[in-house]
Structures are given as C-alpha cells and as structure tokens.
Structure 1
Amino acid sequence: MLSDFAPGSEIGVSDWICVTQEMIDQFSAATLDPDPMHVDPRWAVDHGPFDGTIAFGFLTIGLLTRMFHAAIGEGWGADPAKVGYNLNYGFDRVRLVAPVPVGCRVRGHFAAAGERWDKKGRRILSVDCEVEIENAPRPALVARWLTVWVPPAQ
C-alpha cells in the first residue's frame, strides 16, 4: 500500500520500456493527433529539430501507470475489492524535460512524497516521479503525481 512508504523513501524503479514507432503511431491514432514530428519519420528528419520522430509528451505521461505498477512489484495486482485501490487524481506539477526519441528505452523512478486529507475526508497520496531515458543526461519527465485512496467496500 502506498501509505506504507515514508515521505522521501523510494517506492521502486520500473523495468525498461522501448518506445517504438508503433507505440507512437497507436498513441497518435487514439488521440487523433497526426503531428508529423511524431508519426512521419521522413518529415521529422527533414524538418524537425530532433533528427527523427519523438514520443508525444502525453505518451510519456501515459506510461507512468505501467511503470509504476512494475516498480511497486508484488502485491500491486491484489484484488481491489479486498485491499482498495488508488485512483489517478492528477499532478501537482509535471515537466517534460527532454524529448524521447523513437527506439530509446525509458524507465520510471518513484518515491513517496507525502499524504494529506482533503475537505471530503479522502486521503491524497503524492508520488515523485522521474522518467529516465537510457544513456541520456536529462530525464524525459519529472512530476509529482497524486492519487486518491479508495478503501474496499464494506
């Protein structure tokens, strides 16, 4: 359970994920965004600033859930009807620091940032996230991600 981690303590690090052109194209189709910087390799080489296609920033954000599940490890897939679950609540901050070139690998680093209670009596947990790009000097993303704890139904 996320609340078991003291603020500042590492939750975990995910495995590496290779960002493929197929992933980028599928994200483009799902979001109805045909930006050639992401989906047209020839155009991206000829006209873009990154010598090829790059992942959508929102794709990088979208990979956080998969990365987090991998980082938290065993027990995360437990039955929510018995243990409850966390709902995505948004972000206190998110920065897309560096582009993610097609074909590179990324992984997530997660640390507990704290918890608070909102006016409705819900526990809001915050997680510091960093998405590392393999062999790159800067991360793709840094964020403080918020979740709302939903206890199991009584």
Structure 2
Amino acid sequence: MLTINNYEDYKSYEGKLLGLSEWHKIDQKQINSFADATLDHQWIHVDKEKAESEGPFKSTIAHGYLTLSLIPYLWKQIAEVRNVKMEINYGIENLKFGQAVLVNSEVQLQAKVKSVTNLRGVIKVIIEATLLIKDNAKPAYVGDVIFLYHFM
C-alpha cells in the first residue's frame, strides 16, 4: 500500500499506475442488501430463478451502482492518504460500464493518477478507476474518480 502525505507526494505519482486492491467477492447477500438499501429490487439482481431462466446472463448480476460504491473501500487498500483534514468524493467523469458483474464474481480496483491540481490549497486529484473482473478480459467499468483533499 502506498502512503501519500501531502500534495508533493501525490504530484509525484501523476501519470502513474498506483496499484491494485485485493480481490473482493460480490455475493448474493451483498447484492440483496444493496437492493434493500437503494430500493432497487429489479429481478435481474435479486431473483435467482428468473435470472437463470430468462436473463441474458443466466445469473443474477450486481447493480452497476453497487460496483461503483466499492470504490472507497477498494481505494483504501491501494493508498493511505494521511494528514488530511477532509476528503470529498467530488464526482465521476467519463464512466463507462463495460461488463456485467455476475453474482459470486471477484472484482479488483486498478487505480492510476491522471492529474493532481492545487486549487489554492484544495488538492483536486483525478484517479482513473478500472474495476477488473477476475477471469474476464473486459472490466466492469472505467471512469475518472475525482477527490478533493484538504491537507493539514
């Protein structure tokens, strides 16, 4: 895991691949919990029998937004950003979903620092986030995650 202590540390990684998180298995329990939390109980996510018999993937799949919501958890496995008064999830740009994540698949976050900008004391960092699916050539998604940091 990388340690980033300040703006200069972050800037030194600009344009570089930071690394990979651990693999995380998305099981039906997690999918169902996410469906309950978001009130999105579409059958493709929660009805195993219907998904297997009528669905295009012959399996339930994780919600796209569930896979996105894993970014903070997986990101913390790649880098520890220290000396921060506040960190803000500012946005996601240029996001494309490339592949459905089937139930019981394992996913892994790959992070690359695209840019680091000092906005008068607030540090804007754009991370190219790619969610890899184990044993699958296509990623679940690729997008630019934007964080704002207020370092001490």
TM-score range normalised by the length of the shorter chain:
0.7 to 0.9
Who is 1:23 aligned against? Answer: 30
**Kept in 2: contact 1:18–1:103 (CA 8 A):** yes
**Kept in 1: contact 2:21–2:78 (CA 8 A):** yes
Confirm or deny that 1:40 pairs with 2:41. no
Confirm or deny that 1:69 pairs with 2:62. no
Name the structure where strand makes up a greater proportion of residues. 2
TM-score normalised by structure 1 residue count? 0.86
Q: Which runs of 5+ in 1 are unaligned?
A: none
Q: Distance in 2 between matches of 1:11 and 1:87?
A: 20
Deviation per CA, 1:18-57, whole angstroms, max 9, x where unpaired?
Answer: 0100000000000011100001100111221001100000
Deviation per CA, 1:118-149, whole angstroms, max 9, x where unpaired?
Answer: 5x763211001111100001001101100111
**Kept in 2: contact 1:7–1:114 (CA 8 A):** yes
Q: Distance in 1 between matches of 2:51 and 2:24?
A: 22
* Counterpart residue type for residue 25 of structure 1: N
Deviation per CA, 1:52-75, whole angstroms, max 9, x where unpaired?
Answer: 100000001011111100111xxx
| Map 1:53-132 → 2, pairs under 5 A | 53-72=60-79, 76=80, 78=82, 82-118=83-119, 122-132=122-132
1:5 deviation in Å? 3.9
Q: Which runs of 5+ in 2 are unaligned?
A: none
Aligned equivalent of 1:50, options 57, 76, 81: 57
Q: Distance in 2 between matches of 1:143 and 1:85?
A: 23
The number of aligned residues is 145
Question: RMSD in angstroms over aligned alpha carbons?
Answer: 1.8
Q: 4+ runs of 1 displaced by more than 6 Å?
A: none
Where 1:7 maps in the other structure, the secondary structure is: coil
Deviation per CA, 1:56-114, whole angstroms, max 9, x where unpaired?
Answer: 00001011111100111xxx275xxx543421001122111100000110000001100
Change (3 A) 1:67 1:26: same
Aligned residues: percent identity? 26
* Counterpart residue type for residue 104 of structure 1: S
Who is 2:138 aligned against? Answer: 138
